[in-house]
Structure 1
Amino acid sequence: MPSTDRGGTVRGPALSGAVLSPIEITSTSVQLGDVIQVGGQQCRVTYLFQLPGGAKRLVFESGELLTIHTGTRLIALRVVRVRGGDPTRALTTRRHRR
């Protein structure tokens, strides 16, 4: 059953106002929830271990492991949440920062 936060926003399994966006990741920018395609199979990162030298070991939902080093660059899908719930705004660049 969906729950409600203090602001009255309903939170449930649906990702309203969210879009999957392809981004380049490295060992410093990888995040939990990123989806990386490995061997034609999509794998979601569920846990990260910091290793010596800036490397990280990724643990996927399937239990498989992947170690990425500082020079590794991969493309991942990341959920980008949009304020106001407009997914078309998720990929536009911000012209003014306040």
Structure 2
Amino acid sequence: MTSTTVQRGDIIQVGGRACRVSNLFQLPQGSEQLLFESGELLTMHTRTRLVAVRMQRRR
């Protein structure tokens, strides 16, 4: 996952904890600031690469 592919609802493991993305904020130069359900923030720069889980939405 990169700053251009992250989406709301993605679950990202940070420091051994699974964190769900509740909102995204676009920053300059292609960076994104992620707001997790816990209230914590994480800034992803254009070179940041993370492993995440994306659940399929039922239709």
- Fold conserved between structures, TM > 0.5: yes
TM-score when normalising by structure 2: 0.93
Q: Which has the higher helix share?
A: 1
Q: Which residue does 2:56 correspond to in 1?
A: 80
Q: Secondary structure at the match of 1:36?
A: strand
1:58 equivalent in alignment to 2:30: no
What is the deviation of 1:67? Answer: 0.1
Large movers: runs of 4+ above 2 Å? none
TM-score when normalising by structure 1: 0.57
Cα RMSD (Å) of the superposition?
1.2
Larger radius of gyration: 1
1:48 equivalent in alignment to 2:24: yes
Give the % identical residues: 66
Unpaired stretches in structure 1, ≥5 consecutive residues: 1-24, 84-98
Q: Which residue does 1:28 correspond to in 2?
A: 4
Unpaired stretches in structure 2, ≥5 consecutive residues: none
